[in-house]
Structure formats: structure tokens, C-alpha cells
Structure 1
Amino acid sequence: MQTTELGRTGRQVSQLALGAMQMGNATGESDSVRILDRYLEVGGSFIDTADCYEWWAREGSRGGESEELLGRWMRDGTKRDQIFLATKGSALPRYSPDLWAADGTPNWDLARRTFAGAGAKTLRDALDGSLRRLGTDHIDLYYIHVDDKATPLEETLEALAGFVEAGKVRYLGWSNVYTWRLERIRGLCARNGWPLPVAIQQQHSYLRRRAGLDTASIVDTEQLDYLRDNDDQTLVAYSPIVKGVYDSAAKRADHWMMANYAGPDADARIAAVTEIAAEVGVTPNQLVLAWLLHQTAPRVIPLIGPRTPEQFEDVVPALDVKLTEDQLTRLDEAGA
């Protein structure tokens, strides 16, 4: 697996990141360990989790299961030294029995209204909890998971700078954020001498979000333009294959995530992916990951989240796909 520089830090990380969100819940301990070990075996180093993963998996959970599993895995040998470890704070909702319906399903509307947020004390407590569960003395990359517009940015950025100064965090990141907020963060960091977030984790794939959709989470053309002009921040792309919809017309018809993309533009891009995947001899999902790995303006680190070892193995061939200039041009120009 190739590596890429994170922002302009000089720090090299694997070009494909591994998300551990489901580990410890939907993905049991033995399968999680198989995926993690195999990721290291193919040259991976960049592992991503969050303190809130996965509170919604079972009634009464306060999250932390993914971090705890990673902590157990890292205690075996020298694994901590082999990985670049990312986690996040700010997205764990305040506890309430109303977070789960009678049938145990999560109440996402309430959760989104009661996220912990990015206040200084909240982040200090969240970071210390993450360090304890992970069994480490530092986090390589610490994200604000959900941008918190109710807390002054100065308070959040000063707290994050303190984490870096104390040696608890090496680098900073931000997730689920509008471009105008990134500009404001950049200005405040420059004026106050605070460390700039070097990773921006957003939902990003080959499909483009549908016209008129207002969301802080999915990259749009303005954000791509911002990131091209500011290569000291690297785009980490979560849900890069949109839950695997490229391989399955049935999944595209039924999956709730397609509401963010559906329309003539998506249809045209699905057709292009399907055609070129057949030429290359890979699946459409693998082709999309390969396309993301070929991006240079801005650079993209796809963040995969396989639930099973088999799903991880389905991803591996994408690392070796070489696309021609003609194929890249046809993919880039496809659309309504």
C-alpha cells in the first residue's frame, strides 16, 4: 500500500484508512482482530475510531466499544508503534432513556439535538476517556466529530491547542463541517498561533450530492475548491463507496443514503463506473476506491469501514488498479 503526506506535516500515512466504527458491536472481537491484522499485513497504518462508537448499537450504551477493542488489540506486541491512530470527540449525545425507542432503535433526532459539543471541559473529559479506553498516552489525530456552532470557535481551538502542547495529541482534524467554518478556523489559528487542523473528514465518493441538498457532511464543489487551494489540509473521505451501492442496483433502489445522491447525474455516473469497471476487470465498488486513490487535487484518503473480513478482502484489489488518463477523464466528465 502506498502512503501519502497528511497535510504538510511531513507525516506519511497509508493511502487507505481503516474505520473501526463497527468493531466491538456489529463486528465481533475475532473478526475485528482478523481485519486489523490483515490491514497491517497489506501495509495499512491509518486507523480511525471515535468515542461515541457505537452508542446506538444497544440500548443504554455510552459508546466506547470500538476504542476499548482497539486498546485490547494494541496491547498485543508493538501494534501501537505501527499505526497512526485517529479518534474523535463531541458527538456522544447526553444520556437519556429517550435515546432509544421501545423496540431498541436509536432516536437520531434527539441525539443530534443533544450532542456533547466542543466546549473545552467536554473535550478534555472526552479525550481523557479515549486515552484510557485506547490504553495509550497520545492520539495521533484528534477530530472534532460534529462541528459545534453553539460553542465559540476560540474556546474549542484553544482547548485543542492545549492538547497538542501537553503532548496528548499530535495533530488535529475537523469533521462534518461547512467550508465557511473551515475558513474561519484557518483565520483564528493564524491570528492566535494555534495549530491548524490538518485533516478534514467528510462524506465523499464518486457520486455527487444532489442539487439543493443542504448538509455540512458531504463534500460539494466549493469545498473541493477550498481543499485544492489549501493542501495543508487533507480530505479523509468516509463512506467512499456509499455502503456498496455501486455494485448493486437493488441496494441503490432501497438504501436511505441514495436520497443524498439520486437523480440524473447519479445515473450517468453509475453508468460510467459500470462501463469502466468492466474494462478494467474489477467491481464498480473497487473502481470507485481506485478513482479516489488517483485523486491529486485535492488528495483524498478513502476511509473504509468493512463489517466482515470478507468485505475487507473485497476492497484490497482496488489498491492495485491503475487507471489510464482516458479512463480518468471519462469518469471525471461523466454526469448529467
Structure 2
Amino acid sequence: MKRVQLGEHTVSQVSLGCMLMGTLTDQPTSARILDAYLDAGGDFLDTADCYAWWTGPQARGGESEAALGELLKGKRDKVFLATKVSAAITDLDAARKAPSAEPYYEGASAEVIRRGIDGSLKRLQTDHVDLYYIHVDDMTTPLEETLQTLDEIVRAGKVRYIGWSNVWTWRLEQMRALCRENGWTVPIVVQQQYSYLKPRTGARNVAGPEMIEWLRHNPDVTLAAYSPILSGVYEGRTDKEGMYKQYDGPETETRLATVAKIAQELGVTRSQVVLAWLQQQSQVVPIIGPRTWEHYEAYAPAFDLELAPEHLALLDQ
């Protein structure tokens, strides 16, 4: 598996999303997936303190971290562990009934971050995490408060690096300026939805053209790309209308046809082609999120799939 630079560390260029471990993915399957990923050379694990409250009436969030805490016994030093804060739910009953859970996110205040990191460390059974994200950008808490508190927990040794997710590009630039002015820890990872298809419109959670251009001018920042295969869109799935419509634009059919052509030539799936294309970009780390062992098996061939120059030229037209 390819490796990329992240701060002073190198990490595998494919990250394992552990969102459903402990809920929809049972412990034996989670262990099998994790072991296979580690054996393949992977080491970058992604979770969050709110995973996965929406998966069933008994789920409350924290299940993924708790599952990883058990699975990583004796293996903690083999992984680069990332988790997140700010999107845990303050009122589960209300959030389950609402069209959007965002009004019930706990946010990124100093108190939430201090309590959040200690809770995550306890569930993960570790004394530090390697990367700590603000999960959904909190536009109400003063940015200075959030950044200063993140710097505090870095200096306390609870966190190595910080990142942000679901955030506007202009906010990233604002953060970097504040960190430079105050000597605070600078975010080095941004986690957004990103794939080969182009999004129709800009959104806070999507890495659109503006953010991609910003990243080119900030090579010290890595893009962790979630939903890289868009929930099966490349394999023809259109039942998730919100996902499909977000990428249904004037170039969509041409891009889908290009991916299909290359997949047929190589004898691989279209999603594997997309994952290989993402790995051609040294600043991009795609996050895979297998729910089942079969899902993991479908991802694995992409870890070392090489695209020929003519394929890359065709994809980048």
C-alpha cells in the first residue's frame, strides 16, 4: 500500500473508516477487516465519538470507539488513530425525528472538546490519539476558543495533530492565520467528501474546485476523502438520490463512461478505478468504510492498483 506524508509521520494512503464497527458490523467481522487491512500495509484508522448513533434504537454514539478499544489491544502502536468531536448528539430522541440532526450537534466549545477527548481516550483505551478532528465545523463557538483548546490538548500530550471536517475553504484560511498569530497548533488534515465525479454545487461538506485549488497552494495539508465511491454510484446505484443528484451534472455521464471503459480494460470494478485515481494525488487519502467482509474484499484490490499514463490522461481530460 502506498504511503503519504502527514505532519512528521507517514501513513497508508488508504484509510480504514471504522464508523459501523460496534453497531452494524459485529466484532468478529470488524476484527477480520482490521487484521486484513493491517496485513495489507494499512495503518490509518478513522472513527468519531458519535459513531454510530443512527444505526438503531439502542445506539447512542461511541460504539465504534469502544469496539476499536478492544480490537486494538496489543496493536495500538501499529496504527495511526484518528477520531472526532463536535457532532455527538445532545438529544437523541429529537435528532432521530428531525430532518437533520445538525441542530442537536454538541459543537466545538472548550468544555465539549476537553470532555470529548477524555471520553474518546477512555473508550479507545489509549493515552493519546494521533489525529483529532472537529467533525462538523461549529460556526457559533468563537474560532479562537476552539483552536486554543485544541492547542491545549496537543500540548497536554492527548493529541498529536488536529484536523477539520465538513468546513468551508475560507474558514481553513482563517484558522491558519489565527494559529500563526497565536502560536497554536495548525490543522494539517481536512476531511471532506471527494471523488472523481464533480459535484454540481459547492457545499460545506464537499471538496469542490475551490478547495482543491486551495490545497495545491497549501501542500502541508492533506485531504482525507470520505465517501470516495459515492455509495455505489459508479456501479450504477442511484437509489440514494441525495448522493446521486449532488453529482448529476453535465460531465457525469462522460466521466462514468470513462471509468467504465478503463475498468473493463483492466478487469476490475469501476469503484476500484476511482480509488486508484484518488491515490495518484499525494495530498489525498481516500477513506474506505466497509460494513461487511464482502465490502472489504471489493475495496482491497484497489490498494495497489496502478493506472497506466494513458488511463490517467483519459480520466483527467
Shared fold, TM over 0.5: yes
2:261 aligned residue: 275
Within 5 A, what are the aligned runs for 1:27-176? Answer: 27-59=25-57, 61-75=59-73, 77=74, 79-101=75-97, 107-109=98-100, 111-176=101-166
The residue type paired with residue 263 of structure 1 is G
The residue type paired with residue 309 of structure 1 is W
> Which of 9, 12, 35 is matched with 2:10 structurally?
12
Instruction: Note closer, same or farther for the CA distance 1:39–1:192 as it changes in structure 2 (3 Å cut).
Output: same
1:104 aligned residue: none
- Residue 60 of structure 1 deviates from its aligned partner by 5.4
Larger displacement relative to structure 2 (193-202 or 321-330) = 321-330
Within 5 A, what are the aligned runs for 1:151-300? Answer: 151-210=141-200, 213-247=201-235, 249=236, 251-252=237-238, 254-296=240-282, 299-300=283-284
CA distance in 1, matches of 2:171, 2:162: 15
Normalising by structure 1, we get a TM-score of: 0.92
Instruction: Note closer, same or farther for the CA distance 1:253–1:135 as it changes in structure 2 (3 Å cut).
Output: closer
1:91-132 per-residue CA deviation (whole Å, 9 max, x = no partner) reads 01212422234xxxxx342x2112110000011111110000
The residue type paired with residue 69 of structure 2 is G
Instruction: Note closer, same or farther for the CA distance 1:96–1:37 as it changes in structure 2 (3 Å cut).
Output: closer
1:24 aligned residue: 22
Paired residues, number: 317
Larger displacement relative to structure 2 (91-100 or 65-74) = 91-100
Contact preservation (8 Å) 1:246, 1:252? no
- Residue 253 of structure 1 deviates from its aligned partner by 5.2
1:144-181 per-residue CA deviation (whole Å, 9 max, x = no partner) reads 00000101110000000001000000000100000000
CA distance in 2, matches of 1:144, 1:273: 33
2:126 match: secondary structure: coil
The residue type paired with residue 64 of structure 2 is S
Contact preservation (8 Å) 2:199, 2:249? no
CA distance in 1, matches of 2:240, 2:126: 41
2:178 match: secondary structure: helix
> Which of 320, 329, 334 is matched with 2:304 structurally?
320
Identity percentage of aligned residues = 51
Contact preservation (8 Å) 1:59, 1:100? no
Contact preservation (8 Å) 1:86, 1:139? yes
1:45-93 per-residue CA deviation (whole Å, 9 max, x = no partner) reads 0000000001111225330000000001112x2x100000000000012
The residue type paired with residue 307 of structure 2 is L
Instruction: Note closer, same or farther for the CA distance 1:96–1:26 as it changes in structure 2 (3 Å cut).
Output: closer
Runs of 5+ consecutive residues of structure 1 not aligned to the other structure: 102-106
1:208-257 per-residue CA deviation (whole Å, 9 max, x = no partner) reads 101xx34100111110010010011100000000112211x2x1255431
Normalising by structure 2, we get a TM-score of: 0.97
Larger displacement relative to structure 2 (306-315 or 135-144) = 306-315
The residue type paired with residue 310 of structure 1 is E
Contact preservation (8 Å) 1:204, 1:218? yes
The residue type paired with residue 243 of structure 1 is S
